[in-house]
Amino acid sequence: MHGGSFLGVSRGHPNVTEIADKLEEWGINMLFIIGGNGSHAGADAIDQICRNRKLLIVIVGIPKTIDNDILLIDKTFGFDTAVEEAQRAINAAYVEASSAYNGVGIVKLMGRQSGFIAMYATLASGQVDAVLIPEVPFEMDGKNGVLQFMKRRLQKNGNCVVVVAEGAGQSLLEGTGGFDASGNPILGDFGKWFYTQVKSHFKEIDLQADVKYIDPTYMIRARPCNSSDHIYCSVLGQNAVHGAFAGYTNFTVGLVNNHYCLLPIPEAIKQTQSVDPNSNMWHRCVMSTGQPDFVSSPPETIRSYPLSQRRASSLLQMQYQLPSSPTPTKPATTKAPSTETSSF
């Protein structure tokens, strides 16, 4: 019922050999590791040591990261709560922007490599004019740039709200270099850089703008989880224990296509899950904001049809214009059913 964790949190690479030593010394035969990709990578390393030593110790991962960036899993514990809290920051930015003359509200949300929080919070709020995430490239200047779009929104509505993920726009600024204690690249502070660029731009073009910047990072991290995450976390914990007592090891738990599954950790940590710029959800987000492609020449989109032949057919009909006048066709003839089987 409280934010944070009474277990305590840590950063960095612990000595997994020492962890295995203590597990063996203390006679522990079940270890549950809670966290994101880094924590699951640590769980995999501990499991390998236990296997090499032929120790009968079950290693179980439980996905808890607000970034929702673990592969294969529909969502992680903490994501729903993060999106809900992020909306409060967006609402505050909108109030400030709409209350001022040419008001601009900028909200920086968490998401180093994945823009899920920014995308879902934008969709949920309905008050955002533009959202910038790490997976989608954009330009600041020029007629198709973000700054020009913000100017048009100010001229049209008198206010503008922009949501940025912390990992967005790293190609536009230099990071501090190196890696943090967890092995993640140290990013430049895009939120503050973006705020400075917006203020400077409107000053240069002599457009009076009242720019407000909100960074709710630790407010989001520290709040208690909502009812949806309460239920989800309870089920994850139960499934983790069931899998452990069944004798499985080196697995994590989570929703996959709305089914609770046990997944091998090595498969779940192969790469970071990120927003697909060609997905329906991202297009829904873009439609809700009305933002264009913030690039001078958008790359040609390569269509793929992974869902079904029926959907592919409907998309192809939308892509190509039908002839204005119907082409005469021969009368249909009845054909005997084929005895061959077809597979899709």
The confidence score (pLDDT) of residue 186 equals 75
Sheet harboring 30-35: ordered strands across? 30-35, 58-63, 251-256, 259-264
The confidence score (pLDDT) of residue 322 equals 45
- Amino acid (one-letter) located at 195: Y
Cα 308 to Cα 16, 100, 315, 342: the distances in Å are 45, 49, 11, 15
CA 63 to chain centre: 14
Token readout for 330 is 């021969």
The confidence score (pLDDT) of residue 242 equals 97
User: Beta strand 259-264 with 251-256: parallel, antiparallel or unpaired?
Assistant: antiparallel
The confidence score (pLDDT) of residue 177 equals 61
H or E element, residue 256:
strand 251-256
The confidence score (pLDDT) of residue 182 equals 59
- Rounded Cα distance between 20 and 108, Å, is 39
DSSP 153-215: HHHHHSEEEEEEETTTTGGGS----SB-TTSPBPPP-HHHHHHHHHHHHHHHTT---EEEEE-
Per DSSP, 152 falls in state H
Cα 342 to Cα 109, 166, 324, 338: the distances in Å are 49, 49, 34, 10
Length of the chain: 344
- Rounded Cα distance between 201 and 191, Å, is 15
- Catalytic residue positions? 67
- Rounded Cα distance between 152 and 181, Å, is 42
Contacts of 24 (CB under 8 A, 6+ apart): 53, 55, 57
Q: Shortest CA distance to 253 belongs to which of 4, 59, 112? A: 59
- Rounded Cα distance between 324 and 209, Å, is 50
- Rounded Cα distance between 94 and 160, Å, is 8
Q: Within a 10 A sphere around the Cβ of 175, how many other Cβ atoms?
A: 12
pTM of this structure: 0.81
Tens of pLDDT along the chain (344 residues) come to 788 888 887 777 789 999 999 999 999 999 999 999 999 999 999 999 999 999 999 999 999 999 999 999 999 999 999 999 999 999 999 999 999 999 999 999 999 889 999 999 999 999 999 999 999 999 999 888 999 999 999 999 999 999 999 999 988 887 556 666 656 677 889 999 999 999 999 999 999 999 999 999 999 988 999 999 999 999 999 999 999 999 999 999 999 999 999 999 999 999 999 999 999 999 999 999 999 999 876 555 444 444 444 444 444 444 444 444 444 444 444 444 444 443 33
